[in-house]
Amino acid sequence: MVAVTGIAEFGVSDDQCSNHSVSYQQSCTVEVRFRPTQEGVQTSILVAQYGAGKTAQAHIKGTGDYQPPTACIQKPIQTNGLNVTLDGSCSTDRNGRIMQYDWHITSAASPPVSPPVTRSNHLPSDSFSLPTPGDYIAQLTVTDDDGMTATISEPFRVDYSIRLDNISVRCYVQPSPKTAIAGFVIEGTGKKTVLLRGLAVPSMSPSLDLSLSLQKLVNNAWQEILSNDNWMQSSRATEIAALPSYLQPRSTADAALLVDLEPGVYTLIAAPQGASGIGVVSADDLDGTNPSSRLANISGRCAVEEGNGNAIAGFVIEGAGSLKTLLRGMRTASMDLSGALDPRLELVRIYPNNPNADALENNNNWEDHPRAGEMSGLASNLQARDYRDSAILRDMPAGVFTVLMKPNGAHGIGVVSVDALD
């Protein structure tokens, strides 16, 4: 039997002598591992027992050049929207190998915008989805096979690198209960400057005169914030008139509101002042360069009819990468409003200054969609309400898109929605 006595830095790593018969004048090999935990010369004794209680000893000496592991986080840190991938593969250990990587992510804001995230892994890289945009600190602690540790921290930022920039709904706008209602959600931190418009479609309903009522969900109740019947009577009409031409109202009868909104849930009701007609309700993000908040959802409740009576949601995606987007065509929660409506969806990509358009996808029943399994795993507020509802889940690039909601047979009141999921 062979053993090392003395300090723990010495140990037998390969024993070719124990449990082997060695004849006179023959030899065997014992390898001793030396893993120093401090600088300087250290000694120990190798003891071999043989025969009937006989021993042989060898004095061994090692010079320690000990260094703990070195923790390292690969830069630049890779982010995509609110997702971040942290890579500690550049961490090293001169005296052995790294056995564990402990990640700890904290918000750099004061007060913090989200709770800390902690995760342990035997692999050097890991991915995280953070709840809100902002500045964060990633801390990595590595542990080697001697139990020694090292820690490093690196700052990083996540934001909405790809986002919904414009969202609009085109409806056949009629008196209540068939008014056009556009709901939208602002996510993130800080205020967002948004232009809200209620527009007539000149080629279809040149005499349509819309009014707008902006409401916010507060303590589970809707509260009106602002209203407008004529954009030129708005308190910020001068600012609206100075916007680029494609953002300005088309007629003096159009309604518009320029507002700075906190994150929250909003609804915009467009009602005709007189005759019914085809109209557009839109929300435009005017400070898209601000990465701390975004338009995350729009839903339009409209009368759904054939031809020009289709409900159409238009949206613009800007930024880099792809945005996981959920499109839905649904019956309303009220059976009296929806009637026998069975909606179907058609997704189309539009190219500015180009008459051609690409039909990308269609769906008549969400359960038949190739990604129905993913849809059923979404939060309850994002799931279809009825087996007749239609839905499309798609990873979409930057571009201009429309989604048409059409009736399969009977007309009724329906909801068409666009949700940014990343």
Q: What are phi and psi of 331, to 5 degrees?
A: -70, 155
Instruction: Please state, rounded to an integer, the average pLDDT across all residues of the chain.
Output: 84
Domain 78-158: CATH superfamily is Immunoglobulins (2.60.40.10)
* Domain ranges for the chain: 2-64, 78-158, 162-420
Q: How do strand 162-173 and strand 30-34 relate by DSSP bridges?
A: unpaired
Please write the tens of the pLDDT for every residue from 41-85.
Answer: 777 776 777 667 777 777 666 655 567 899 999 998 888 777 899
Rounded to whole angstroms, the Cα distance separating 210 from 206 reads 11
At 122 the pLDDT is: 86
Calculate mean pLDDT across residues 334-361: 81
Q: Confirm whether 78-158 and 162-420 share one CATH topology.
A: no
Q: Give residue 228's pLDDT.
A: 92
- What are the tokens at 295? 């338009």
| Burial environment of residue 205 by CB neighbours within 10 A (0 to 12, 13 to 18, 19 or more) | buried
Q: What is the mean pLDDT of residues 263-280?
A: 89
Please tell me which residue, 222 or 302, carries the higher pLDDT value: 222
pLDDT given at position 335: 52
- The helix or strand, by DSSP H or E, that contains position 150, with its residue range, turns out to be strand 149-158
Per-residue confidence (pLDDT) for residue 197, from 0 to 100: 92
Whether this prediction's pTM lies above 0.75 is answered by no
pLDDT class of 4 with cuts at 50, 70, 90: low
- pLDDT higher than 70, residue 338: no
Q: Tell me: domain 162-420, CATH 1.10.760.10, correct?
A: no
Residue 339 corresponds to which tokens in the numbers above? 């009637």
Q: Please, which residues have CB within 8 angstroms of residue 356's CB and are 6 or more apart in sequence?
A: none
